[in-house]
Amino acid sequence: MTKTLLHVDSLCTTFGSGEQLVRAVDGVSFDIAPGETFALLGESGCGKSMTALSAMRLVPEPAGRISDGVIRLHGEDLLALPEVAMRNVRGRRIAMIFQEPMTSLNPVLTVGEQISEGLERHLALRGKQAHQRVLALLDSVGIPDPVRRYGEYPHQLSGGMKQRVMIAIALAGEPELLIADEPTTALDVTIQAQVLDLMRQLQKDTGMSILLITHDLGVVAEMADRVAVMYAGQIVEEASRERFFVDPRHPYSRKLFESLPNMGKRGQRLAVIRGSVPSLSTVFRGCRFVDRCDSAGDICREQVPVWTSLDAGQGVRCHLHDPAQQLAPNSVETSSVSTERASQRDPNDGDELLCVEGLKVHFPIHKGLLRRVNSHVRAVDDVSFDIPAGHTLALVGESGCGKTTVGKGILQLIPPTDGVVRFNGVALTGLNARELRRQRGELQIIFQDPFSSMNPRMMVTDIIEEGMITQGIGASTVERAARVDQLLEQVGLSPELKHRYPHEFSGGQRQRICIARVLAVEPKLIVCDEPTSALDVSVQAQILNLLKDLQDELGLAFLFITHDLSVVEYLAHEVAVMYLGRIVEQGCVEEVLNNPLHPYTQALLSAVPNIEAGAEGVERKVLKVAGEMPSPVNPPSGCHFHPRCPLVMDECRHEYPPLFFVKGSAKSSGSTHATRCFLYKKEGTVREINS
C-alpha cells in the first residue's frame, strides 16, 4: 500500500453565514503520495485555490473558516495544531507558489532578503551561510548571474524571473509538499517550458510531492501523475493521467476536451459549455453541473450524485455511472461538438485593407539633469505586413518582443518613429488629429485586460454608447439604446444586463462587453491583444466562436496578438513570428506551424505542451535556447537571435539576415513562406534543427 503524504477528507471551507453562506470547498477528499504530482483541474471559481489555502490553513479570517473535514500531513492533524505550530509547517513542510508573483513578492525588499527570510526562520541560517544558500537557490532555479540578482528588486525582473524567485522562496525550507497555484498562467511558452522543467528536476532531486493547480490541460498532461477535476466546490472526477486523457468519464471533463482549439478544428465551431459555474452560495438539490450538461435527466435535478468508483482507480460523481441508477451513458449523452463548417473566406480573395511598411517605434531614454536623449528603446524595428479584408494575421512571440507596440503603432495610439501605415489606401501616419479621429471608428482594439480597460463608474450601456456618441453614430438616444441591446445580443449577453457595472461580470462576460464596445462603431479592422489570455478553456471557446462568427458575418479583419499557439492554429490565416522588435518568420498558418524554419519559431513550437504525447507518457523534446531575450535598448549585432541560437554561424554575428523565401507547402494557400535566417540562403533549402 502506498504511503500517504497528504490526506484530505471531507474538507469544507465556508464564507459568511445564514443565507449568504458560501461553500467555497464542499466535501473535498484526496490523497497525495510522496514524490507524486497531483493535479487539480477546473474552471475559475470552482474552489481550486481555496482548497490549497485550506490545506495550509491560510483561509482569510474572520470571513472564512474551515467548517469540517480532516487534513493530515504524514498522519499529523493540521487542523488541531495551534497557529504558532502552523508557522513551522508553512514553508518548512508545505510551501506554496502563489498565482501572481508580482503581487506575492514584497516590492521594497531585494530578492536576496526575501529568500533569506525562510532560511532564517526554518533552517536557522544567517549571515554568510544564508547568503551562500540564497545564491545556490537562485542558481538551482536557473537565474543567471545570481550575485547581481541577489540585490535586485522584483520590478527589475521579467515575469519568468519573478516566478523563478517565487520557486526559490518556496524551496528554501526544503518542503515535503509544494503547492503550485497556476505557476505558468500568462507566461510565454518558452518560459513555461523552463518553469515546468525546473519543477520536474527539483522534484526528481528532492523527492518532494507537488499539488498542481491549473486549468491548462497541456500542463496537466505533461506534469501530473494523477488528476482530479473540480467543479463548484467538489471533485467530480479523479483518475490517473493516462486514464483521464484516454477516457474521461464526467460530462464536464469531456466538455473541457471538446472546447480546446487546434488545427483539426479549423472551420468548425468549438464546443461550448453553456452558462457559467453556479454561485457557491446555492443550496444544491441535484447535480451541480445539471444546467450546463447535455446528458442531464430528471434524476440529475432531483438527487445529488454519489461518488462511484470505476476501474483502474478512476472515480466519478455522476448519475450516468452509478450502478444503482442503471443509466446507460451512451443512450443519454449526446455529442456537443458541432461539425458545421463556417463559411471560410479565402484569405487571398479579400481586398487589401491594411498595409504596414517599415514600421518603427523607438522610445527615447533621457538621462542627466538636462534630460538629454541618451539612447532609444527599439520596441518595434522595421516591421512590414499586409492584412486583407476578412483575414486574420496572428502575431506571436515572447513577452517584450514588441507585439502590443505594433498594434498600438498601427492605430496611432503610439506615434510611430518611422514607416508607413496605410488603411484602405489612406496613410494614417500622415493624418492630423482631426482627420485621424474620423478614421478611429474603422480601427479598434480589444485590450488584454477587459476590466482595466473599462471605466468602473460607468454602466455597460454607457460604456458601449460612448464610442457611438464620439463617432456620431445613431440619430437619437433611443436609436443608440436599441443598438446597444442589439450588440449585447450579438455577443451573447442579455440586454437586461446593460445597467450593471463592470465588476458585476465574469472575465468572459467582460471580454464580450469589450467586443460589443468595439463593434458599436462598425470597424473594419480589430487589433485583438491577448483577448483570451488567462481565460478558462470553456470561456475561451465562446470568445473564439464569437470572433469567427463576426468575421464571417461582417468581413472583419483581425490582427490577433497572442502567445497561445493553439488559438493561432484554430483562428489565424497567416502567422508572423516576432523577436526583439522584428518579424523573423511569416507565412500561412499551416506552413509556419507544420514546417517552422527559423530556430526561434522551432523553439516556440517545441515548448508547447502536447496533450497526446503527455497523456501517453512520451517525454516532450524541447529545443532549449540559452538565456533570455536581450534588451531592445542594446540589441546584439548581426542576427538578434544569435546569442541564443543553437545553430549560430559566424555570419550571424556580423550581419542581420535579409528575407529568404521558401516555397509554400500548404495546400490551402498560395502564400509564400519567408524567414530571416542564413540557413535558407538558397530558396527552397530547408534545414531542420536536431533537438
In the block, residue with C-alpha cell 467548517:
67
pLDDT tier at 237 (50, 70, 90 boundaries)? Answer: very high
Pick the CATH number of 352-442+523-680 from 3.10.20.30, 3.30.70.380, 3.40.50.720, 3.40.50.300: 3.40.50.300
Encode pLDDT of 70-103 as tens digits: 999 999 999 999 999 999 999 999 999 987 777 8
Say if residue 128's pLDDT is above 70.
Answer: yes
Residues 6+ apart with CB under 8 A from 368: 374
Average pLDDT, the chain: 88
Say if residue 629's pLDDT is above 90.
Answer: no
The Cα–Cα gap between 270 and 511 comes to 18
- pLDDT for 2: 57
Q: What's 485-533 look like in SS3?
A: HHHHHHCCCCHHHHHCCHHHCCHHHHHHHHHHHHHCCCCCEEEEECCCC
Q: Give mean pLDDT, residues 161-167.
A: 87
Instruction: Tell whether the torsion through CA atoms of 417, 423, 428 and 433 is positive or negative.
Output: negative
- pLDDT for 83: 93
Select the highest-mean-pLDDT range: 108-112, 438-442, 605-609: 108-112
In the block, residue with C-alpha cell 479565402:
346
pLDDT tier at 690 (50, 70, 90 boundaries)? Answer: very low
Say if residue 405's pLDDT is above 60.
Answer: yes
Say if residue 314's pLDDT is above 80.
Answer: yes
Residues 6+ apart with CB under 8 A from 236: 229, 230, 250, 252, 253, 288, 289, 316, 317, 318
Quote the pTM value. 0.85
Pair type for strands 557-561 and 525-529: parallel
Report the percent of the chain where pLDDT is more than 90.
62
Say if residue 338's pLDDT is above 60.
Answer: no
Which cell numbers in the block locate residue 4? 500517504
376 in Cβ contact with 633 (< 8 Å): yes
Encode pLDDT of 182-210 as tens digits: 888 767 788 788 888 888 888 998 899 99
- pLDDT for 277: 84
pLDDT tier at 593 (50, 70, 90 boundaries)? Answer: very high
Say if residue 329's pLDDT is above 80.
Answer: no
Cis peptide before 62 (omega within 30 of 0): yes
The Cα–Cα gap between 38 and 238 comes to 10
Say if residue 689's pLDDT is above 50.
Answer: no
Q: Give mean pLDDT, residues 492-518.
A: 88
Q: Indicate the range of 3-7, 190-194, 250-254, 463-467 predicted with least confidence.
A: 190-194
pLDDT tier at 531 (50, 70, 90 boundaries)? Answer: confident
Residues 6+ apart with CB under 8 A from 395: 403, 406, 407, 559, 560, 561, 562, 575, 576, 578
DSSP letters along 71-132, please? EEETTEEGGGS-HHHHHHHBTTTEEEE-S-HHHHS-TTS-HHHHHHHHHHHHH---HHHHHH
DSSP letters along 293-320, please? -TT--HHHHHSPPPEEE-GGG-EEE-GG
pLDDT tier at 617 (50, 70, 90 boundaries)? Answer: low
Hey, where are the domains in the chain? 106-174, 252-332, 352-442+523-680
